[in-house]
Chain A
């Protein structure tokens, strides 16, 4: 079965690298279960999958990952994303609250995690996010930054 990371890396079952990746079924299965847990969880903590996918698309773009951007764009179209959520996905900063604060945080932690500090978490709380929402958002941000690096590494291996 082809998963989200194969798709992002451009791997098909005929590729040697596709098979090399399956030397670690626990990584393949584990990454897929993580993807579901942050993008389409059973309990979304009040952060709907459509918002999660919009944020993921935004962060894939910040990472310059065109293949992942395309994947998330397809999902956004299937979810009928419009208005503010499309603006989130497309990287806009003039957004309503709490989206503006959430998007700002996703940008900061994606591009400059080193600069994150206590006041950034306080801003999320001030924007009305609960502790479970702060943690769920953090896991989503961190996951996309994981996923793009695995895909990037595999793409580099494929091309060299």
Chain B
């Protein structure tokens, strides 16, 4: 038995001044989906709203990849996101998606195993997903046909593998925003 790792949510702080709602352009307000009654929009959203076009397009794609119905099970997408976030060094994203994995599976066993850096203790399916996530996230990618074979051998079909490729890849994107434009802090 490994003792449970307790992960507390982190707080994210930008390195540049976010857009102030009082100074936002109509396009920025629209991208942030700010309604007249909204008082608080997160610093993360307001930072990225400096470029509303990319913010809007990425948010739509991100939500599709992480939340679309069917295909790859949601905990598996979260595990892909977690593997990418660990490789890319985004502590903030890693904690968010570790916690989400634990919530969805109602168990913190996988997350605990990874935070204690014992991936050899993962079950075969989680091991195949986590290993592929790490290797595809390296720059340049270190993933090979063997990784795809390992995913197929634990029963994943093409649609599920494509979903996983996207979950890992979108964190190659998100991590390069969160960890580059700001930093994570403990506390509220």
Chain B residues whose CB sits within 8 angstroms of the CB of A146 once the complex forms: 169-170, 172-173
Q: Does B121 contact A (CB under 8 A)?
A: no
Q: Does B112 contact A (CB under 8 A)?
A: no
Q: Does A1 contact B (CB under 8 A)?
A: no
The answer to whether B162 and A149 have CB atoms under 8 Å apart is no
Q: Does A160 contact B (CB under 8 A)?
A: yes
Q: Does B114 contact A (CB under 8 A)?
A: no
The answer to whether B177 and A149 have CB atoms under 8 Å apart is no
The answer to whether B169 and A149 have CB atoms under 8 Å apart is yes
* Residue interface mask B40-63, A partner, CB < 8 A = 1: 000000011011011111101100
Q: How many residues of chain B are within 8 Å of chain A by beta carbon?
A: 55
Interface of B is mostly: helix
The interface centre, meaning the residue of B48, B57, B174, B180 with most chain A CB atoms within 10 A of its CB, is B180
Closest CB in chain A relative to B8 CB, distance in Å: 21
Chain A residues whose CB sits within 8 angstroms of the CB of B175 once the complex forms: 113
Q: Which of B146, B179, B181 contacts A135 (CB 8 A)?
A: B181
Q: Does B166 contact A (CB under 8 A)?
A: yes
Interface residues on A, range: 35 or more
Q: A27-B166, A113-B180, A142-B173 are in contact. Are A134 and B16 (CB under 8 A)?
A: yes
- Rounded to whole angstroms, the CA-CA distance of A64 and B65 in the bound complex is 25
Stretch of A30-38, A81-89, A96-104 with 4 or more beta carbons under 8 angstroms from chain B: A30-38
Q: Does B176 contact A (CB under 8 A)?
A: yes
- Rounded to whole angstroms, the CA-CA distance of A138 and B89 in the bound complex is 16
The answer to whether A149 and B54 have CB atoms under 8 Å apart is no
Chain A residues whose CB sits within 8 angstroms of the CB of B176 once the complex forms: 109, 113, 138, 141-142, 145
A130 nearest in chain B by CB position: B50
The answer to whether A62 and B141 have CB atoms under 8 Å apart is no
Q: A110-B139, A120-B180, A131-B17 are in contact. Are A157 and B88 (CB under 8 A)?
A: no
Q: Does A91 contact B (CB under 8 A)?
A: no
The answer to whether A34 and B57 have CB atoms under 8 Å apart is yes
Q: A31-B61, A149-B141, A153-B143 are in contact. Are A114 and B89 (CB under 8 A)?
A: yes
Q: Does B110 contact A (CB under 8 A)?
A: no
Q: Could you name 30 residue pairs across A and B whose Cβ atoms are closer than 8 Å?
A: A20-B159, A21-B162, A23-B162, A24-B159, A24-B166, A30-B61, A113-B89, A113-B175, A113-B176, A121-B15, A121-B16, A121-B181, A125-B16, A132-B50, A134-B16, A136-B54, A141-B176, A143-B58, A146-B169, A147-B169, A149-B141, A149-B169, A150-B166, A152-B136, A153-B136, A153-B161, A153-B168, A157-B148, A157-B158, A157-B161
